[in-house]
Structure 1
């Protein structure tokens, strides 16, 4: 059954997703619980998303999956999309290794969740119901001094399990699995409401959008007009969900995730790896 494209609470959230790349997402998303105080009122639903970007709905394929890193040769048939959870969960847990992803991964509608999350990242919000991983434990912490509000460095402890997944995944193996199962991702994308769309193109759009994220000067200033914390800088607040996810990691971790994303982009598009990148 296709996931509904329902939006949840408004404002800059923090949630964690160690799978931000369609079948493979190794970027770490951090928003819902991290930009929300420990005690809050009922969130207000945001406006519905605007019409999908032309690139997502166009019939012209820009990055054919045939150009990506090839999957291992096999004659084994793929499972049906709605019967693929056991296969997807087993593969992702094995790719992450040492149990790093166990306990974080949502185990139902895995491929549909990944596709819906990737599609939403270039927009300004992601519904928590569609995420492929669970949100981080604990409350988002801030520091208050001289009338200002800044994120606490102690929040890094909440994100550490997701970054461990990022560091443990072999990008080549991850992309090879994605290529092997690409027909299921394509079907899930069409079921999401893009009958002429091409998921790998949307995945590259999401990666490019995240790579365009600025690196805010720290400490980042926040404001709290109502329930949620927001960026004091209007330009940062207007950024996409994917860019906000990276900005909230801090300069060092943002740089590491971007390096991983460049590697993945090269493998997904067949353009090779950037000079500064190396595969695990």
Structure 2
């Protein structure tokens, strides 16, 4: 678990929803141009045998794009959509919020691949739609253990506050407006018969189930094996508790940002989930 972070799980959802991106800053690497195909899911759906085609299964959580908005100003193709998406995000969270927290280059593809990976062991930071947070992981020594310091949560408070300031229903409305772009990116990722909104709801539920430790978790430097030593060992920490270390990338983020921030994000995600499930 690296110290570059994305307090944005809710933001990743605010973002992907058309709003700011929660899933999230846990890492401090500079994002590179998106390459979703290189980060396809670990177990992409296999093509069915030609003699036994698989019927397209309807969505569990159908969502309809906003017809009125599409009729007045049709969405551009995904490869040409960055300008429209950036303008939509600026309208939702403000231009300063976009510039401070998001990476809008290839935002839709970044959001889709990151959302999909939040429920998996690893979400590649170079593909995240958010900017790295300042500073390093704050720790305190307790006996022979190192704990995440209570003050560490302050690093994530500005973004969490931004997410909480966005009305979930407004984020959901923008998400519906841009939904064809997210669905296209999801199909490109390796799910031609999948429905992105179903995956989004599934990931939100997964994040809402993240544990809320009553005590600051203990951490330790991740051992880097090999002949070439790490030049920045301080950016890689892991939980000492193996139950926490076994969590998905998204749930680790939820734990890492502190209980207060985690609960605020969960409250926002609950409202957002309700809006995208009941929007039809």
TM-score (norm 2): 0.79
In structure 1, what is the equivalent of residue 237 of structure 2?
Answer: 229
Q: How does 1:187-206 map to 2 (within 5 A)?
A: 187-206=184-203
* 55, 60, 63: which one aligns with 2:61: 63
Question: In 2, Cα distance between the equivalents of 1:261 and 1:215?
Answer: 16
Question: In 2, Cα distance between the equivalents of 1:51 and 1:25?
Answer: 28
In structure 2, what is the equivalent of residue 20 of structure 1?
Answer: 12
Question: In 2, Cα distance between the equivalents of 1:187 and 1:26?
Answer: 18
Question: In 2, Cα distance between the equivalents of 1:17 and 1:191?
Answer: 26
Unaligned runs of 5+ in 1: 1-10, 35-46, 273-280
Q: How does 1:176-255 map to 2 (within 5 A)?
A: 176-226=173-223, 227=233, 228-255=236-263
In structure 1, what is the equivalent of residue 27 of structure 2?
Answer: 32
For residues 140-177 of structure 1, what are the alpha-carbon distances to aligned partners after superposition, in whole Å with 9 as ceiling and x for unaligned? 22112311101123323321231122122121111111
Question: In 1, Cα distance between the equivalents of 2:182 and 2:81?
Answer: 11
Aligned length: 245
CA spacing shift, 1:154–1:33, aligned 2, 3 Å: farther
Question: In 1, Cα distance between the equivalents of 2:177 and 2:26?
Answer: 31
CA contact under 8 A between 2:153 and 2:261: conserved in structure 1?
A: no
For the aligned residue pairs, the C-alpha RMSD in angstroms reads 2.7
Range moving further from structure 2, 71-80 or 241-250: 71-80
For residues 93-126 of structure 1, what are the alpha-carbon distances to aligned partners after superposition, in whole Å with 9 as ceiling and x for unaligned? 2211372332221121111111111111100111
In structure 2, what is the equivalent of residue 277 of structure 1?
Answer: none
In structure 2, what is the equivalent of residue 147 of structure 1?
Answer: 144
* 95, 114, 118: which one aligns with 1:117: 114
TM-aligned CA deviation for residue 83 of structure 1: 0.8
TM-score (norm 1): 0.79
Range moving further from structure 2, 144-153 or 112-121: 144-153
CA contact under 8 A between 2:6 and 2:24: conserved in structure 1?
A: yes
CA spacing shift, 1:193–1:15, aligned 2, 3 Å: same
For residues 225-256 of structure 1, what are the alpha-carbon distances to aligned partners after superposition, in whole Å with 9 as ceiling and x for unaligned? 52422111111110111111111121111111
CA contact under 8 A between 1:17 and 1:27: conserved in structure 2?
A: yes
Unaligned runs of 5+ in 2: 30-38, 47-53, 224-232
Q: Of Structure 1 and Structure 2, which has the larger fraction of its residues in helix?
A: 2
CA spacing shift, 1:209–1:52, aligned 2, 3 Å: farther
CA contact under 8 A between 2:150 and 2:216: conserved in structure 1?
A: no
* 43, 48, 51: which one aligns with 1:51: 43
The secondary structure found in structure 2 opposite 1:65 is coil
CA contact under 8 A between 1:95 and 1:174: conserved in structure 2?
A: yes
